[in-house]
Amino acid sequence: MDVVISPSILSADFMNLERELARIAAADMVHVDVMDNHFVPNLTLGLPVVEKIVRVAPVPVDTHLMIEDPDRWAPGFAEAGAASVTFHAEAARAPVRLARELRRLGARAGLALRPATPVEPFVDLLPEIDMLLVMTVEPGFGGQAFLDVTLPKIRRARRAVEEAGLDVWVQVDGGVSAETVERAADAGANVFVAGSAVYGADDAAGAIGELRCLAAGAHAHRSR
């Protein structure tokens, strides 16, 4: 199970975004949160900015759409060149159709769940997606503390993926740091979104390397 580190630009300096993207060239992906101030109480950036990020980012772009009506808007992010487009189960009207459209457009399709949304109703959808995002904070704002109450859900998600024999990534987003990444990895996550833990560090590349090493160690311990 490969470890994927995806720093979130929500914690970056938006006035110097191209420079901030260059700081995380050692990462596997860059996580871009799109919020519409309706699905979540915050407003970030939209498709035109994501298009520019795709052009200058040194790594593939991992978009997380915290928006209403993703059925309408999500395909545009795949068309813009995002490598991965994740939409929320709570917002999508036709998640299977949307996931298939994202894949047809060449993006990995991700399905996100709020902390209180259970995994079980979506297990049958796993063959239709490439990644399941288990939110480890309430979506909307960066800098929140990791919710340990989500660890059993991460375990259930990983178990469901393994029992189905699928290559579906399990992503965690929220409060991921050197203090929490091992717990998430031990529970079965393999994709880690970290904002302030990376962008708040003097050495972003070093912080990325530390997260990757800690997660890989937890995976090795888990597989024994």
The catalytic site residues sit at 33, 173
pLDDT band for position 1 (50/70/90)?
A: confident
Which amino acid appears at position 114 of this protein? R
Query: What are the distances in angstroms from CA 36 to CA 43, 62, 66, 91, 139?
Result: 5, 17, 7, 12, 12
Q: What is the pLDDT of residues 65-92, one digit of tens each?
A: 999 999 999 999 999 999 999 999 999 9
The beta-carbon contacts of 205-209 under 8 Å, at least 24 apart in sequence, are 205/23, 205/24, 205/25, 205/26, 207/178, 208/5, 208/7, 208/24, 208/26, 208/27, 209/26
Predicted TM-score (pTM) above 0.85: yes
Q: What is the pLDDT of residues 119-150, one digit of tens each?
A: 999 999 999 999 999 999 988 666 679 999 99
Extents of the domains making up the chain: 4-222
Q: What is the pLDDT of residues 151-195, one digit of tens each?
A: 999 999 999 999 999 999 999 999 999 999 999 999 999 999 999
* CATH of the domain spanning 4-222, picked from 3.20.20.70, 3.40.50.880, 3.30.70.260, 3.40.50.620: 3.20.20.70
